[in-house]
Amino acid sequence: MTDILSLTPGVARNTIAAWLAERGEPSYRIQQIFPRLWQRPVMSWREATDLPADLRAALDEAFPLSTMTLAVHQVSVDGTEKFLWQLADGQAIESVLIPEGKRRTLCVSSQVGCALGCVFCATGRMGWRRNLSPAEIAGQVRQVAMRDPAKPPTNVVFMGMGEPLLNWEAVDTTLTILNHADGCGIGARHLTLSTVGILPNLAKFAARPEQFRLALSLHAPTSTLRGPLMPVERKYHLSDVLAALKQFRRRVTLEYVLIGGRNDSLETADELAAIARPLAAHVNLLPLHPGGAPDLSPSPRAHMLAFERRLKRHGIEAVLRRSRGLDISAACGQLRVEVGRGSKVPAQEHAGVEQ
């Protein structure tokens, strides 16, 4: 059996075409079969009723379509949707769909858990379980598209569970699947990879010719402040990561979670501006989602606004994002951790919750 959804579209097409030729099938069958992978996806080949029954059965045996089981679905009053997917081996991952006007941004996971242990992230607190395959990463987009074919995701951000650059081989393939015209057909500038700065694979990502977006999970402008928040600082020093970013040919976004009393002083904003300016970077200021780190406190609203104003006075393009999904378990890894430890989903979350 071949995991056809883990192959790039070009390889998948050639693989199916060769299989059809071996069976003596007419060549036009590839035009009926191939779009069912990503463009008009089906849960199983049995649903492709424009194909003969015996061919569908043979496809199910040769190229079974890996799917995920929706374990929990939460819908926030602001329209944010959280999905907890159960995988074939019983592990679970999350995706978050954020609608905003015509844009439908899906935040996908690249690993089950995460080994990096960032103190403000629920995923980091659960540890690392395993890497996801391309079929499991891109499959999150596929599953959401199948739920509402008229409204597939328009943007994808690798900001869910896991560090994408620690699963580079699968993420590399996934980027091709999502971007390729015969795959999901999502424009490169609508695909954003977020990383803490895994230097060897950051260079590989930078070498790709497409205009994929890069976001650095920064959260502190100095090693002294960053180290206690992000243990990865001990291996990949901030100064080296910033030097690597200067070689990146595309605009970089700096992601910065504001944590009360830890990284939200005006002096810290000045230091952040000094980093952002030479990179011509955009700064996303993010309120700490209380569900991700119950022992940390979000910055007060007034502090966050003052921090944003300070950056703008330095000429930095900065935006204070509003928290989405505060009434559901929308923090990265929060729902997976809650379900894993047997926590009951709060009653208010059952309005619009599908299980």
Give me the average pLDDT of each 10-residue run along the chain (355 residues).
95 98 96 97 96 97 94 93 96 95 96 93 87 98 96 96 97 98 97 97 95 96 96 96 89 95 97 96 92 82 96 97 64 47 36 34
CATH fold group of domain 4-62? DNA polymerase; domain 1 (1.10.150)
* Residue 121 one-letter amino acid: C
- Rounded to whole angstroms, the Cα distance separating 138 from 142 reads 6
Q: What single string gives the DSSP state of each residue in 76-122? A: -TTS-EEEEEEPTTS-EEEEEEEEETTEEEEE--SEEE-SS--TT-H
| Backbone φ and ψ of 258, nearest 5° | -90, 120
- Rounded to whole angstroms, the Cα distance separating 101 from 48 reads 32
Residue (of 310, 192, 299) closest to 254 by Cα position: 192
Please give the pLDDT value at position 11: 98
Residue (of 165, 168, 268) closest to 217 by Cα position: 165
CATH 3.20.20.70 domain locations along the chain: 69-350
Q: What single string gives the DSSP state of each residue in 127-141? A: -EEEEPPHHHHHHHH
Residue (of 276, 234, 285) closest to 256 by Cα position: 285
DSSP 8-state code for residue 289: P
- Contacts of residue 102, defined as CB under 8 A and 6 or more positions apart, other chains included, come to 154
Please give the pLDDT value at position 125: 80
* Largest interatomic CA distance in the chain: 71
Annotation says 81 is catalytic: no
* Residue 56 one-letter amino acid: R
Annotated catalytic residue: which of 107, 114, 184, 332? 332
Please give the pLDDT value at position 242: 96
CATH fold group of domain 69-350? TIM Barrel (3.20.20)
- Rounded to whole angstroms, the Cα distance separating 37 from 29 reads 14
Torsion sign over Cα 40, 41, 45, 48: negative
CA distances in angstroms from 96 to 61, 83, 160, listed in the order given: 32, 6, 8
Residue 24: which H helix or E strand, with range? none
- Rounded to whole angstroms, the Cα distance separating 325 from 267 reads 30
Among left, alpha and beta (phi > 0; psi -120 to 50; other), residue 238 is alpha
Reading the block at residue 323, the tokens are: 């928290």
**Where do the H-state alpha helices sit in the chain?**
9-23, 29-33, 53-62, 122-126, 134-147, 168-179, 199-207, 223-229, 238-245, 266-279, 301-313, 334-340
Annotated catalytic residue: which of 25, 81, 94, 308? 94
At which residue do the structure tokens 């430890």 appear?
341
Please give the pLDDT value at position 324: 67
CATH 1.10.150 domain locations along the chain: 4-62
Burial 140-174 (b: 16+ CB within 10 A, else e): bbbbbbbeeeeebbbbbbbbbbbbbbbbbebbbbb
- Rounded to whole angstroms, the Cα distance separating 175 from 186 reads 9
* Residue 124 one-letter amino acid: G
- Rounded to whole angstroms, the Cα distance separating 266 from 27 reads 65
CA distances in angstroms from 189 to 103, 105, 161, 298, listed in the order given: 13, 12, 22, 31
- Rounded to whole angstroms, the Cα distance separating 260 from 300 reads 7
In a 3-state reduction of DSSP, which class is residue 60?
helix
Annotation says 107 is catalytic: no
